[in-house]
A and B are shown apart, each in its own frame.
Chain A
Amino acid sequence: ILNVEQSPQSLHVQEGDSTNFTCSFPSSNFYALHWYRWETAKSPEALFVMTLNGDEKKKGRISATLNTKEGYSYLYIKGSQPEDSATYLCAFTPRSGGSNYKLTFGKGTLLTVNP
């Protein structure tokens, strides 16, 4: 069983604060690292899929970095807004058949942004 760890488990910030969370994963046999945003009562939606060491991706106020050699990824949110409140999941895919279909998820970081 692959070990994907996310920290912190939960986080409360004030509107306007910037914040970041961590995802750690096995550094050997890496294929891809996914980030998903999961709002209550909805289904997870993809933010980023990252495959290359040193990758940095950005979508609006949210960005992510990837270090495959040491096995971690950071997700950053700049100027948090109440609508950013959600659980943020990362998922790891090992190089096994070279496909992106078999994801191992972390337990998520629950972000609450207070107005």
Chain B
Amino acid sequence: NAGVTQTPKFQVLKTGQSMTLQCAQDMNHEYMSWYRQDPGMGLRLIHYSVGAGITDQGEVPNGYNVSRSTTEDFPLRLLSAAPSQTSVYFCATSSGGEHTEAFFGQGTRLTVV
């Protein structure tokens, strides 16, 4: 099993460009989330999904869109990249049970110039 797979690992964008960060899981988990990691800030929740067809905003949703058409995939879209979106992005999944930990992808390092 691959677990949680994020692509790409690295990306450089110009301000105003759009792109999609991919997250795929083969663990049959209902819950998927996107976090961003910035120096001195900890992991902050961008968007999350509790199942196919259901998404909701986290702490820092502005500038990002998500969709969840299947259980396996949870793409994160940047519609018009800004330098403030330079960050490391992590996708995480969980089965959602009381004692269940989150499983993280390897991260995508995004630089917006």
Contact = CB atoms under 8 A, between A and B. Distances in A.
Interface string A15-53: 000000000000000001010100000111110010100
Of the listed residues B33, B40, B43, B92, the one surrounded by the most CB atoms of chain A closer than 10 A to its CB is: B43
A1 B48 CA distance: 16
Contact of A100 (B59, B100, B105, B106): B100
Contacts of B43: 44, 89, 91, 103, 105
B27 interface: no
Contacts of B75: none
Contacts of A101: 30-31, 33, 48, 50, 94, 96, 102
Interface size class of B (residues with CB under 8 A): 20 to 34
A107 B97 CA distance: 25
A50 to B, nearest CB: 9
A108 B42 contact: yes
Q: DSSP majority for the A interface? A: loop
Interface of B: 30-31, 33, 35, 40-45, 48, 50, 58-59, 90, 92, 94, 96-107
Interface of A: 1, 4, 32, 34, 36, 42-46, 49, 51, 89, 91, 99-108
Given A1-B59, A103-B92, 19 more contacts: A4-B42, A34-B101, A36-B101, A43-B105, A46-B101, A46-B103, A51-B98, A89-B42, A91-B43, A91-B102, A100-B99, A100-B102, A101-B30, A101-B33, A101-B94, A102-B45, A102-B58, A103-B45, A107-B40
